[in-house]
Amino acid sequence: MYSFRNSIRKSGDRLTAYVSLPGDTLEVVLNKKIWWLLNLSSIPILLLASFLLGFHAGHAIVYLNIIFILSSVIPLIVFNFYKKHIENYALFTQLSMVVITSIKVYYMDGMVHAGTPLFVGLLGPVYAMTLPSKKRAVFVFVLYASAMIAATLLNPIESEVNIFSMYFLGFLISVTFIFFTLYYFTTRLEEAKRSEKKQMQELDDLKTKLYTHIAHEFRTPLSIITGMVDQMKNNPSEWMDEGHSIIKRNSNKLIDLTNKLLDLSKLEANAMPVNLVQDDIALYTRYLVESFHSLAQIKKIGLRLSIDPKEILMDFDPDKIRDIVSNLISNAIKFTPYGGSVKIALRIIDQNKLELSVKDTGIGIPREQLSSIFDRYFQAKNHLETLREGTGLGLALTKELVKLHQGTIRVRSILNKGSEFAIELPITNKAKMVQLPVLDEISFDKTGGFDSPKTPKKDNQLKLLIVEDNADVARYLYSLLSNNYLIETAGNGFEGLSKAIEVIPDLIISDVMMPVMDGFTLCKQLKEDIRTSHIPIVLLTARFDLDSRLEGLKTGADVFLAKPFNNDELFIRIEKLIALRKKLQTRYKLLEPAEINTKNRSQLSKEDQFMYEVRKVLEQNLSNEDFGIQQLCRTMAMSRAQLYRKFSALTDTTV
């Protein structure tokens, strides 16, 4: 028995190898095997039928059997030449079955007397159902039904009208029912497969995004940690205390991210325990909210908490409630612009339910995305475009943690006006009463930039603008560069744009993923503005894939560095950009007016256009004794400081 099964398996493997082509899917290979076996199995059946019937059924039937055999044998012989286009030859087989069996039915005096070819012909449309094109299957079925009916109606021998009518009606109903039952189930099955394939593709895409975002979330603190270790090693007296706290804060962030991923794994495996205690959840919530005040102050966000009643004893898991509240409040602060507000309310509803709501005045969530906001790996498009950060796990994890408490979570949001998340938890008093110990400080990102200390400017010291929303990263960059450059800072792209136009720095270092305005948008706007188009820009990012690099280069970035970056590489890149600027200064010092005037204005760079306009205005006012620097600034639509910095950057001389 085993050897027989083994032989069958080996035969199946050999057939699979024979019919397969590189790139064939499992479904295509299966269709080829069905076609091959159908043709092969029909040969002995037709030979046996021809031998048993002989010529008693008529010469025409024998000849048709021979044609049928040939229509099966010939395709098998030449199969190797056309197995790439199996669907077309499968259609030929289906049509052959229908046409030859319908002619047999005609010669065998109609459907009443031709049972065998009648049902052999039905194999044509049934076989067609195994192939992808269902429209083709319907066509083969209609052809089959029409051919069988025609073969019966056209037969002159048929005379039993009543018997024929009943048989005809029964045949039509039966084959129609069989075919369309198969049609319904196969189409539903294919729709389910397509839907599953689409979902798997979407999940794969979302997981790819997740890994990209997690890489960013990990690379930023890793950059800070590795950089601070170097600073503490080189300047221990200056950086030991502050470096220690920065490293600890960013290490806690990495631990928090890791725990979040592990928690999701436990939830997927239904292995997340719930450790209920009975205590005052109002006091606990007050502590949690208090931990976020310093974060809110960085963005000048009003953080308000209302609790009614003041004391609420109930069962809850402190760790999970901490994660729930922290996720909701940190999201609210993250997506609320500077000067906004976040309101947290804790109250009892329906006597035995607790409601916790977090309402912000942030950017909101599009209506069509509200139903998916709690899906794993999902990030609202509006949020993603605004911040370009986050793992897409926070709200999914929050929902699962709420469900572990037998609670519910809902969201309301108006685009550009804000969102409100509300959680309802059942109030029970069954767990053991405990007094929660003093809790560790909640770890969160310090966003909003870093105010660089004002240092006196040295002679010929270049001015650098650091645009970074993470205060630790900005602090680290300041520690690297402040000895050689005069440093200005900005907490996001919008602030960076305003600061760049105001101070006209010699070089800009910017993060890519930032609130309000990202680094790509900042770079594009700076390069399009005549006042700042000459400034070299270095973009720092954890997203170092090809698409991100191409996007950065398209916006005009001069250098694209991945986090964690090497300090020496950053220094060399800056030095090279400054050296390149000196070459530009030399060019404009030696530039002849004719060199610009002979060029088409549309072909000029923004720097050439600027020099052309300055020369043109000065030449037009050579004889005007009242024309001075103020009039030149007004004509060029620049402030005196902007014009001075721009001209000095291009020529290393004053206006």
CATH 3.40.630.30 fits 463-577, yes or no: no
Conformation bin of residue 487: beta by default, left when phi > 0, alpha when psi is -120 to 50: beta
Higher-confidence residue of 100 and 340: namely 340
Q: Which of 55-69, 119-133, 384-398 has the highest mean pLDDT?
A: 119-133
pLDDT of 383 higher than 50: no
Q: Which of 14-18, 231-235, 485-489, 618-622 has the highest mean pLDDT?
A: 485-489
pLDDT of 360 higher than 90: yes
pLDDT score at 93: 66
Q: In 291-374, which ranges are continuous DSSP H helix? A: 293-298, 318-334
The β-bridge partners of 559 are 538
Mind listing the pLDDT tens digit for each residue in 168-215?
A: 555 665 566 566 666 766 776 677 677 778 877 876 776 666 666 676
Q: Which of 85-99, 110-124, 378-392 has the highest mean pLDDT?
A: 85-99
Conformation bin of residue 363: beta by default, left when phi > 0, alpha when psi is -120 to 50: alpha
pLDDT score at 359: 95
pLDDT of 111 higher than 70: no
CATH architecture entry for 273-426: 2-Layer Sandwich (3.30)
pLDDT score at 531: 82
Share of the chain above pLDDT 70, in %: 61
pLDDT score at 386: 42
Confidence of residue 305 (pLDDT cuts 50, 70, 90): very high
pLDDT of 318 higher than 70: yes
Q: Pick from 194, 177, 70: which is nearest to 132 by CA?
A: 194
Q: In 335-438, which ranges are continuous DSSP H helix? A: 381-387, 394-404
Higher-confidence residue of 105 and 377: namely 105
pLDDT of 601 higher than 70: no
Q: What is the pTM of this model?
A: 0.51
The β-bridge partners of 412 are 420
**H/E element holding 546?**
helix 546-554
Mind listing the pLDDT tens digit for each residue in 240-253?
A: 877 888 888 888 87
Confidence of residue 316 (pLDDT cuts 50, 70, 90): very high
Token output for 384:
């993603």
Mind listing the pLDDT tens digit for each residue in 499-513?
A: 998 888 889 999 887
Q: Pick from 380, 373, 424: which is nearest to 395 by CA?
A: 373
Domain range summary for the chain, segments of one domain joined by +: 2-159, 273-426, 463-577, 593-651
Confidence of residue 306 (pLDDT cuts 50, 70, 90): very high
pLDDT score at 409: 92
pLDDT score at 231: 82
The β-bridge partners of 423 are 356, 409
pLDDT score at 480: 87
pLDDT of 640 higher than 50: yes
The β-bridge partners of 426 are 353
Q: Pick from 545, 476, 550, 467: which is nearest to 512 by CA?
A: 467
Q: What average pLDDT is seen over the chain?
A: 75
